[in-house]
Chains A and B, each alone.
Chain A
Amino acid sequence: MVGHLDADCFYVSAERVRHPDLRNKPVGVLGNNGACVIAKSYEMRAAGVKTGTPIWDAVKLCPTGVYVKRDFYWYEVLSRKMLEAVSRHFSPVEYYSIDEFFFRANAPRAGQRLHDAALAVRDHILEACGLPVTIGVARTRTLAKLFSDTAKPFGAVTVTDRDHERELLARLPVTEISGVGGRRAARLAPYGIRTCLDYAQAEGRLIRQLLTKTGYELWLELNGHPVTPIRPERTPHQVLARGGSLMGNVEDPTVLWAWCVRHTERLIEELHFHNVRTDALGVSLAWKDGESTAGVCKLPVPSDRFDELLDGARTALRRAYLPRKVATHMHVVAPELRRARGFQLSLFDPPNAKLDAVARVKTAVNERYGRFKLRSASTLYLPAVYADPANNFDICDVRGKVCF
Chain B
Amino acid sequence: MCSAIALATSELPLSLLEQHGLEDRVHDRGGEKEVRFYWQARPALLPVWWDGRLQVVKWGNRDRAERTLPPTGWTWRETVEDGKWSAMSPEPVLVPATFGYANGVWYKVKQGLQGVLVRDRTGQPVVFLVTEPATRYYRVMTRAEWMPALVGEVI
Contacts and interface: CB of A to CB of B under 8 A. Distances in A.
A68 B107 contact: yes
A97 interface: no
21 contacts: A19-B108, A19-B110, A21-B32, A22-B108, A24-B31, A25-B30, A26-B30, A30-B141, A33-B137, A34-B136, A35-B141, A55-B105, A55-B141, A65-B106, A66-B107, A66-B108, A67-B106, A68-B108, A388-B135, A390-B138, A392-B154
Contacts of B140: 33-35
A64 interface: yes
Contacts, number: 67
**Among B98, B104, B108, B155: residue with most chain A CB under 10 A:** B108
B74 interface: no
Nearest to B141: A34
A389 B29 contact: no
Contact of A67 (B8, B32, B136, B141): B141
Contacts of B135: 388-390
A34 B138 contact: yes
Contact of A64 (B8, B29, B108, B139): B29
Contacts of A26: 30
Contact of A390 (B32, B99, B155): B155
Interface string A112-148: 0000000000000000000000000000000000000
A68 B99 CA distance: 10
A395 B31 contact: no
A21 B108 CA distance: 9
B137 A69 contact: yes
Contacts of B110: 19
A304 to B, nearest CB: 28
A43 interface: yes
A55 B154 CA distance: 19
Contact of A15 (B105, B108, B154): B108
A296 B108 CA distance: 42
A389 B133 CA distance: 11
Contact of A395 (B107, B108, B137): B137
A59 interface: yes
Interface string B72-114: 0000000000000000000000000011000011111010000
Contacts of B8: 21
Interface in A287-338: none
Interface string B118-154: 0000000000000000011111110000000000001
B154 A390 contact: yes
Contacts of A191: none
Contacts of B136: 33-34, 388, 390, 395
B137 to A, nearest CB: 4
A390 B154 CA distance: 6
A280 to B, nearest CB: 32
Interface in A11-54: 15, 19, 21-26, 30, 33-35, 43
Nearest to A66: B106
Contacts of A67: 105-108, 141
B106 A390 contact: no
A43 B137 contact: no
B52 to A, nearest CB: 24
A68 B140 CA distance: 13
Contacts of A21: 8, 32, 98
Given A24-B31, A66-B99, A69-B141, A393 B104 contact: no
B105 to A, nearest CB: 6
Given A66-B106, A392-B154, A393-B154, A34 B137 contact: yes
Interface string A373-404: 00000000000000011101101000000000
Contacts of B99: 66
A69 B106 contact: no
A63 interface: yes
